[in-house]
């Protein structure tokens, strides 16, 4: 019987937790931050766990197996099924999952045992659902544009491009604008020229580790916004401030179209309010380039926090006011297997700094947050000393790499310093390496744990 296993305090915890039938997690992550790989690992772990093959998801410490009849994965209404088989097949071929260009979902259902009076009282639901949605990271950075006018966006976009590191990648685009004749009215060809040049800037900057790329949707193919016929670019402020200028008129119209026909439905469908949020962050790309890139990442994350609603997830808010706010946030630095264990404290400290601006937006103290280091797959092996790792290169050589200590603070990093990211290939024994991924247990324990 349940009351023999738990103290009264734990009973309360259980009751709280199961008052909700549906737990919505979002994993919010910039492009290439590791979302698809994390979902792939999670589903693989759950599959092994539910088939009783491997007891690998301590997630379920909060949900003892004795209470669980069955766990399975289902499609999520309105979404294509997350292509876990395709991703696992890619890993099997030694490839990483391909970048996501559309939105996919899945639902994890935990069916509880039906027996026992205590269960009926404590756990009103039979099935508890966890919903997961995977999407291209580029969509995420566009959401803040919902709160801007074209003019505001255009001005802030220029301001960003004038600073390092963006400025370093914007030369061609800036030259195009300088020699462009905005007195001649826009026609299809001239719009295509301008949008084409701006897109090349976005692509070039992305390749060099920039995360604040707006609109990121312009970087994707057919399943994304129709930038070919409804594109826009920032305009020099002398043009954008003149609302009678035909370019300003046209781009304002396209920008509004972007907001209403693309961003609004996207926010409603894909970024439905969840109560628990994992913000997945790749620090390695920034470290690979420069300290300016890390500051730029910090700015991006701070902008993103603007678009989500944070606050206490109270019973009243949920049942009476019918609103959900995010009450728990896990800031997660992924791919932690790419540095030696001895350097992880420094990585955690960098994570805290890079997310400080986002944290500052939780302006009341009802949001619980923590920082975590996680690897969805343990792709590397320990090296011969505390500062080294062994890994498989693209051409399948097994090498040892020595690491310089990471700086503990961004301020300590010199402007020219950078830390090359380990080009680790997917090893043949990817499966046990997924099952032995690090940090997921602590992460889920935090997310599923009692709200204080
Ligand atoms: N070593 C290591 N590399 C990882 C891990 N997770 C992701 N990666 C690397 O990061 C890349 C991006 O991971 P994805 O899961 O595709 O990232 P995403 O957030 O889905 O990216 P988009 O779909 O483009 O938004 C992969 O191709 C891998 O190279 C991990 O746990 N360990
Ligand atoms: Mg993806």
Sketch the domain layout of the chain as residue ranges. Answer: 2-135+270-448, 143-268
Share of the chain above pLDDT 90, in %: 55
Most confident of 133-147, 333-347, 357-371, 434-448: 333-347
Give the C-alpha separation, 313 to 323, whole Å: 9
Mutate to test the pocket of ligand 1, among 287, 335, 375 (most ligand atoms within 8 A of CB): 335
Mutate to test the pocket of ligand 1, among 26, 28, 32 (most ligand atoms within 8 A of CB): 32
End-to-end alpha carbon distance in the chain? 26
Residue 231 CB less than 6 A away from ligand 1? no
Pick the more confident residue, 446 or 103. 103
Higher pLDDT, 311 or 386: 386
Closest CA to 75 of 27, 26, 129: 129
Task: Give how far the C-alpha of residue 441 lies from the chain's centroid of Cα atoms, to the nearest Å.
Answer: 18
> Which residues are within 8 A (CB) of 321 and not within 5 positions of it... i.e. 6 or more apart?
none
429 by Cβ neighbours in 10 Å (0-12 / 13-18 / 19+) ranks as: exposed
The DSSP letter of residue 235 is -
How much is the average pLDDT of 223-243? 92
173 lines ligand 1 (CB under 6 A): no
Position 13 pLDDT exceeds 50: no
Who's near 330: CB < 8 A, 6+ residues apart? 276, 277, 278, 279, 369, 370, 371, 372, 443, 446, 447
CA-to-CA dists, residue 143 to 76, 123, 136, 140, angstroms: 22, 37, 13, 6
How many other CB atoms are there within 10 angstroms of residue 203's CB atom? 14
The pair of structure tokens assigned to 217 is: 């949707």
Q: What is d(CA 391, CA 33) in angstroms, rounded to the nearest whole number? A: 20
How many angstroms does the Cα of residue 6 sit away from the middle of ligand 1?
A: 39
Q: How would residue 8 be classed by pLDDT, with cut points 50, 70 and 90?
A: very low
Residues, the chain: 452
Residue 315 confidence (pLDDT): 54
User: What CA–CA distance (Å, rounded) separates 44 from 87?
Assistant: 11
Partners of residue 330 on adjacent β-strands: 278, 370
Residue 5 has pLDDT above 50, yes or no: no
What is the spatial distance between Cα 452 and Cα 450, in angstroms, rounded to a whole number? 6
Neighbour-count burial for 385-410, b at 16+ CB within 10 Å, e otherwise: eeeebebbeeeeeeeebebeebbeeb
Q: Which two tokens stand for residue 218?
A: 């312009």
Q: Which residues surround ligand 2, an ion (CB under 5 A)?
A: 35-36, 100
Average confidence (pLDDT) over 137-160: 92
User: What's the CA-to-centroid distance between 96 and ligand 2, angstroms?
Assistant: 10
Centre of ligand 2 from the C-alpha of residue 294, in Å: 21
Model pLDDT, residue 249 = 97
Span of 207-221, 284-298, 354-368, 373-387 with lowest mean pLDDT: 354-368
pTM: 0.86
Distance CA 360, CA 120 (A): 41
Query: Which bound ligand lies closest to the C-alpha atom of 34?
Result: 1
**Tokens (6 digits) for 45:** 């772990």
**CATH of span 2-135+270-448:** 3.40.50
Which residues have C-beta within 8 Å of that of residue 334, sequence separation ≥ 6? 29, 33, 34, 37, 38, 280, 281, 282, 374, 375, 376
- β-bridge mates for residue 28, sequence order: 279
Q: How far is the CA of 136 from the centre of ligand 2 (A)?
A: 6
Closest by alpha carbon to 275, among 332, 331, 328?
328
Whole-angstrom distance, CA of residue 298 vs CA of residue 228: 31
């Amino acid at each position: 019987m349940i009351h023999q296993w738990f103290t009264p305090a734990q009973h309360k915890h259980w009751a709280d937790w199961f008052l909700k039938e549906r737990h919505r997690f979002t994993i919010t992550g910039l492009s290439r931050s590791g979302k698809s790989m994390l979902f792939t690992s999670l589903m693989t772990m759950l599959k092994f766990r539910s088939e009783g093959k491997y007891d690998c998801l301590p997630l379920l410490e909060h949900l003892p197996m004795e209470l669980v009849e069955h766990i399975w994965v289902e499609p999520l209404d309105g979404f294509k099924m997350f292509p876990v088989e395709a991703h696992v097949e890619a890993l099997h071929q030694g490839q990483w999952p391909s970048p996501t260009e559309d939105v996919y979902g899945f639902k994890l259902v935990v069916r509880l045992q039906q027996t026992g009076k205590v269960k009926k009282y404590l756990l009103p639901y039979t099935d508890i659902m966890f919903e997961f949605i995977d999407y291209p990271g580029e969509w995420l950075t566009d959401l803040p544009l919902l709160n801007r006018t074209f003019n505001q966006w255009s001005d802030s976009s220029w301001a960003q491009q004038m600073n390092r590191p963006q400025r370093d990648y914007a030369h061609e685009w800036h030259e195009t604008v300088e020699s462009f004749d905005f007195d001649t009215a826009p026609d299809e060809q001239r719009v295509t020229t301008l949008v084409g040049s701006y897109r090349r800037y976005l692509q070039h900057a992305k390749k060099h580790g920039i995360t604040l790329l707006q609109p990121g949707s312009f970087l994707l193919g057919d399943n994304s916004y129709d930038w070919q016929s409804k594109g826009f670019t920032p305009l020099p402020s002398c043009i954008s401030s003149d609302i009678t200028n035909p370019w300003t008129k046209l781009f304002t119209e396209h920008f509004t179209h972007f907001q209403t026909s693309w961003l609004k439905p996207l926010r409603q469908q894909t970024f439905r309010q969840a109560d628990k949020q994992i913000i997945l962050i790749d620090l390695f790309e920034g470290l690979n380039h420069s300290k300016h890139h890390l500051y730029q990442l910090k700015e991006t994350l701070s902008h993103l926090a603007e678009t989500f609603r944070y606050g206490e997830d109270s019973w009243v808010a949920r049942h009476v006011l019918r609103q959900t706010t995010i009450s728990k946030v896990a800031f997660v630095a992924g791919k932690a297997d790419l540095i030696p264990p001895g350097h992880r404290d420094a990585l955690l400290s960098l994570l805290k700094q890079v997310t400080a601006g986002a944290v500052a937006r939780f302006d009341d103290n009802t949001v619980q947050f923590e920082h975590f280091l996680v690897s969805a797959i343990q792709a590397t092996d320990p090296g011969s000393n505390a500062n080294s790792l062994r890994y498989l290169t693209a051409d399948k050589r097994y090498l040892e790499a020595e690491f310089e200590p990471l700086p503990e603070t961004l301020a300590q990093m010199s402007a020219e310093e950078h830390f090359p990211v380990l080009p680790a290939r997917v090893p043949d024994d990817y499966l046990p390496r997924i099952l032995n991924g690090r940090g997921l247990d602590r992460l889920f324990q935090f997310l599923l744990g009692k709200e204080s």
